[in-house]
Amino acid sequence: MAGHPDAAALVAAVRDFLGGLKLDGRDAFHAKVAGNVLAIVERELVARPDAAAAAALAPIVPDDGKEEEDVPSLRTQICTALRDGSLGPATPGLLDALVAANLAALAVDNPRYSTFLRRAAAAPQR
């Protein structure tokens, strides 16, 4: 639908509404917590960290014929391969993929985290 706000815009509107309320005490605290949760949801809707993590991690795992992998499955496969020795620090692209996947998550969870900011600035753009 033309002109219909997307989910991120709707979440932002509610977050802004909560931020504009004049509350005190416990209600103010709960409104702030709710606003922070909505900010995380908004960043996740925009950044799509699971898609970025899947794109980074999928080339590292052996091709099992599946067209699309979910991030928990990819992480499980990588952990299994690390434990059995078929992947290791010398595996081409492994460390870069793990950094990229974790930067994608940090961009949503805590985008002002100083280590994230340094690594994000230094990370190659994909």
How many percent of the chain have pLDDT more than 70?
Answer: 90
User: Residue 79 pLDDT > 80, yes or no?
Assistant: yes
Question: What are the extents of the domains in the chain?
Answer: 7-47, 49-122
Is the separation of the CB atoms in 126 and 55 below 8 Å?
yes
Sign of CA dihedral 99, 100, 101, 104: positive
Count H helices, E strands: the chain?
6, 0
In the prediction, which pLDDT does 10 show?
92
- Over residues 18-66, the pLDDT tens digits come to 999 999 999 999 999 999 999 999 999 988 999 999 999 999 987 665 5
In the prediction, which pLDDT does 63 show?
66
- Over residues 65-74, the pLDDT tens digits come to 555 578 888 9
Q: What is the pTM of this model?
A: 0.70
Locate 94 and state its tokens. 């492994």
In the prediction, which pLDDT does 70 show?
85
Higher pLDDT, 31 or 119: 31
